[in-house]
Amino acid sequence: MDNREEVREFLTSRRAKITPDQAGLPSGSRRRVPGLRRSEVAALADMSVEYYAKLERGNLAGVSPAVLEALARALRLDDAERAHLVNLAHAADGSDALTRPRRRGTKGEWKPHRSLQWTLDAITAGPAFVRNGRMDILAANQLFRAFCTDVYATPRNQRNLARFTFLDPAAHRFYPDWDSFADVTVAIVRAEAGRNPHDKELHDLVGELCTRSDAFRTRWGAHDVRHHGTGTKHFHHHAVGDLFLAYEGLDMAAAPGLTLTIYTAEPGSPSEEGLRLLAARAATGEAPRDAERPAAG
């Protein structure tokens, strides 16, 4: 796979983010580039300027793990960025299909086995769902479906959280901190593009969102990636109000590339009471009130 443009833009964007002060270098008064110069990255990585320039032109094919690690240290990459760099190098070598487990998650190819659905259904105190790196919702418990009624309400979302975030006006209400959710969504999809560069559905999704959403296109051009394993999020559900939920994302060993995410509320908190009310509505089949939901555009 010729991924030189992707490599070039990723390395250039990481170099631009590091200030000389952060790298322990004199800043000087006549700098014409944001961040570090190529020569400074080369010195920090203990390689020639010519060799680093070759790498930044996108030529990662055949690069050794030691060189990748030196480059990651020089560019101060975090764990997600280091993994992304390695994935880009594997793709440049054409070794992706040979060296990694087969990635799962295409909705037309994969369905949850009965025991997984039983497991999800056994989680009754919090929303739980399985997604792939494209942000497709592949399986969910009853409470998640009640929690994400906005996502399921618009057929053209195709139960995809990236489409929902950037193409449905309801996302701005459901996610009070919409910018943060948008950043995370794009970073997850960008990381998936590095891990699974031959996924046609992923390419189609990115093309659609870049065409239809300026907000997505701008974020996509930033080349940010991240791991999304644990934290807290703020939601606003049209039936039960504000919910402040912790989440844990668990990689599924039996299905590489898929993530099981479970949301929970602090015991005794108003958010726990909100989830309890939402679960009661879902169990009785009562449709949540939809008076506050804006019409999808």
Domain ranges of the chain: 4-99, 114-284
Task: Report the pLDDT value the prediction gives residue 32, as an integer from 0 to 100.
Answer: 74
* 169-189: average pLDDT: 97
| Structural tokens at position 119 | 């497991």
Report CA 34 to chain centroid distance, whole Å: 26
Name the CATH code of domain 4-99 (choices 1.10.260, 3.40.720, 2.60.120, 2.60.60): 1.10.260
Q: Using CA atoms in the order 25, 26, 27, 30, what is the torsion angle rounded to 10 degrees?
A: -130
User: For residues 262 and 230, what is the distance between their CA atoms, to the nearest angstrom?
Assistant: 10
pTM, full prediction: 0.84
Q: How confident is the model at residue 294 (pLDDT cuts 50, 70, 90)?
A: very low
* Amino acid occupying residue 280: A
* 227-232: average pLDDT: 88
Q: How confident is the model at residue 227 (pLDDT cuts 50, 70, 90)?
A: confident
Reference 128, options 141, 145, 118, 111; nearest CA is 141
User: Helix (H, G, I), strand (E, B), or coil: what is residue 269?
Assistant: coil
CATH class of the region 114-284:
alpha beta
User: For residues 166 and 163, what is the distance between their CA atoms, to the nearest angstrom?
Assistant: 5
Reference 84, options 98, 97, 71; nearest CA is 71
Cβ neighbours of residue 210 under 8 Å, at least 6 residues apart?
A: 216, 217, 220
Task: Report the pLDDT value the prediction gives residue 112, as an integer from 0 to 100.
Answer: 80
- In degrees rounded to 5, what are phi and psi of residue 196? -135, 65
* 221-226: average pLDDT: 93
Task: Report the pLDDT value the prediction gives residue 107, as an integer from 0 to 100.
Answer: 47
Task: Report the pLDDT value the prediction gives residue 155, as an integer from 0 to 100.
Answer: 79
User: For residues 37 and 40, what is the distance between their CA atoms, to the nearest angstrom?
Assistant: 5
- In degrees rounded to 5, what are phi and psi of residue 204? -65, -40
Asked if pLDDT for residue 293 goes beyond 90, the answer is no
- In degrees rounded to 5, what are phi and psi of residue 231? 160, -165
pLDDT in tens, 194-203: 988 889 999 9
Calculate the alpha carbon distances from 54 to 6, 49, 57, 94, 282 in Å. 14, 9, 5, 19, 57
* 282-296: average pLDDT: 52
Task: Report the pLDDT value the prediction gives residue 257, as an integer from 0 to 100.
Answer: 87
The angle that helices 49-56 and 65-74 make with each other, rounded to 10 degrees, is: 90
Asked if pLDDT for residue 228 goes beyond 50, the answer is yes
Task: Report the pLDDT value the prediction gives residue 224, as an integer from 0 to 100.
Answer: 94
Q: How confident is the model at residue 297 (pLDDT cuts 50, 70, 90)?
A: very low
* 166-192: average pLDDT: 96
Q: What DSSP string describes 159-215?
A: TBHHHHHHH-THHHHH-TTHHHHHHHHHHHHHHHHHH-TT-HHHHHHHHHHHHH-HH
Reference 255, options 124, 140, 99, 106; nearest CA is 106
Asked if pLDDT for residue 4 goes beyond 80, the answer is yes
Q: What is the 3-state secondary structure (H, E, C) of 37-82?
A: CHHHHHHHCCCCHHHHHHHHCCCCCCCCHHHHHHHHHHCCCCHHHH
* 240-261: average pLDDT: 93
Task: Report the pLDDT value the prediction gives residue 21, as an integer from 0 to 100.
Answer: 85
Q: How confident is the model at residue 93 (pLDDT cuts 50, 70, 90)?
A: confident
pLDDT, averaged across the chain: 88
Task: Report the pLDDT value the prediction gives residue 29, as an integer from 0 to 100.
Answer: 62
Listed as own residue / partner, the contacts of 277-281 with beta carbons closer than 8 Å and 24 or more positions apart are 277/239, 277/240, 278/143, 278/146, 278/147, 278/237, 278/239, 278/240, 279/124, 279/125, 279/142, 279/143, 279/146, 281/146, 281/239
pLDDT in tens, 102-143: 444 444 467 788 899 999 999 999 999 999 999 999 999 999
Give the residue, 164 or 21, on which the prediction is more confident.
164
Task: Report the pLDDT value the prediction gives residue 214, as an integer from 0 to 100.
Answer: 98
pLDDT in tens, 17-73: 998 888 888 876 677 777 899 999 999 999 999 999 999 999 999 999 999 999 999
| Structural tokens at position 23 | 């790298």
Determine the length of the chain. 297
